[in-house]
Amino acid sequence: MAAGLLLKLVGFCFWAVFWLGGAATVSTNAGGEAAAAAVVVDARSAIAVTDEDFVCATLDWWPPDKCDYGTCSWGLATLLNMDLSNKILLNAVKAFSPLKLRLGGSLQDVLIYDTGDPRQPCTPFTKNSSAMFGFTQGCLPLHRWDELNAFFQKSGAKIIFGLNALNGRVPMSDGSLGGPWNYTNAASFIRYTVSKGYDIHGWELGNELSGSGVGARVDADQYAQDVLALKQIIDNSYQGHASKPLVIAPGGFFDAAWFTELISRTKPNQMDVMTHHIYNLGPGVDTHLIDKILDPSYLDGEAGTFSSLQGILKSAGTSTVAWVGEAGGAYNSGHHLVTDAFVFSFWYLDQLGMSSKYDTKTYCRQTLIGGNYGLLNTTTFEPNPDYYSALLWNRLMGTKVLSATFNGTNKIRAYAHCARDSRGITLLLINLSGNNTNHIYVTSEGVQPYSTKKEGRRRFGRIPGLGEEAQLIREEYHLTPKDGSLQSQHVLLNGNVLAPDANGEIPKLEPVQVEGTQPITVAPYSIVFAHIPRFYAPACR
């Protein structure tokens, strides 16, 4: 018995060296086992802060006959036609408590709103190859808007609505669309929304009209004037209300000069949120998407955009914050069995981790449902693997972002936040390697918890085997693909398949408990969330 206790004590001391920031080397194990390494977390102060409801998803307007590369992947899964009575859909949104939903997409700038104007009949989108994005002007009937808001209220969603920013534009000599935004229809729609008491978190102006644009573009100077007009409409429409929706723009691809000008003309407080879109993997038809997702250097490429936008906002002296307003990874509806499969969680969670480090407040995934990149299956509504990745992030990763540095292979991606609604930190580890199992210790940087003898006794008076082992227990959530296939549309949590039950209820996400003296084991092609409640983190108090 004495020998066993001695071994536990030695093990604890070895663990404590790592825990307090010491260095150690462990030799590589045979059989594809990688050397033990360490994630160094600096928990003295936060490097950034996200919104409480950081995770966001989009809903789009595409008709069923929207097709890409010969595949029609939207079906009845968009704002105009989706089954709002589906139990899985309702429960999937409710599980986030709340989930931000951004309503918009390519067709929003050719969408009008049925506000009773006889000069603007409410007709549906019709396929037309000569029209922008292949469809004629469409319309949102008010009865459908009422139905949608009944669903939003029942599910507890927070709504961002993307407005048509092309009404009234005229072609300019440089190829852009100019002239002031004709906001008559939009203002009428906003007034109707207010009159019905529908809760809108933010109104966003336009979709992908920034910089060189997609389909159309508007100069930053004119766009700024239109944002100011939207701000005035919101101020007038919500006069007397306790709070007003956010003013959001431009919902486009990042262009440093264009974004800088928009900020300079709307600062310090006329625009609340600057949104940009991300499709950094290229077209959905690309046959090398999985190679890109598993390439650390390729993933790192998007950091420049986050850093540049952060720098623009900091130097401008503005209250405007950055969001990712739409991100589907691969454009033109994604790629079946890639962007709706397990492998895409590597890209998605890495994006959440990376963007949060650069003070991105909200990240909207394209889509909640629809296309080949939905969090939910387009036809069955059952969650794809990324849904569970998003839900774990939402429940485990708090708003305060911590610096985390991994000293081993570049195939491990590491991110740390203060734990959500709990003590300590949560660590996210992503293993892009299909060959190596990594055993990872977590160390703290720059913290000296032994400030007094009393503090030392308080924190380390309980040694495993000597009293309360539970004080050093951590919770781990291991995500792996079903049958080991990266292209599986089913994910395992700690070895168990995740799926809704017969009533459409989202399954519980239960952790495994691990003794804190042990390293975190990260299997090949896996993702691990580790909640470490006893980590010494002054930033998280």
What amino acid positions are annotated as catalytic residues? 208, 326
| Beta strands 37-42 and 397-406, pairing class | antiparallel
Which residue matches tokens 């890209």? Answer: 347
Q: Secondary structure of 72-135 in the HEC alphabet?
A: CCCCCCCCCCCCCCCHHHHHHHHCCCCCEEEECCHHHHHEEECCCCCCCCCCCCCECCCCHHHE
Number of H helices, E strands in the chain: 12, 26
Q: For 376, which DSSP code?
A: B
Distance CA 344, CA 319 (A): 33
- Amino acid residing at 507: P
CA distance 382 to 490: 10
Cα 41 to chain centroid distance, Å, stands at: 22
C-beta atoms surrounding 175 within 10 Å:
10
Q: In degrees, to the nearest 5, what angle opens at C-alpha 289 toward C-alphas 206 and 343?
A: 95
Contacts of 148 (CB under 8 A, 6+ apart): 79, 84
Rounded CA-CA distance 69/92 in Å is 30
Which residues, 6+ apart, have CB-to-CB distance to 448 below 8 Å? none
CA 254 to chain centre: 17
Contact 109, 403 (CB under 8 A): no
The H or E element that residue 16 is part of is helix 2-19
Q: Retrieve residue 267's tokens.
A: 């600062």
Euclidean distance between CA atoms 269 and 261, whole angstroms: 15
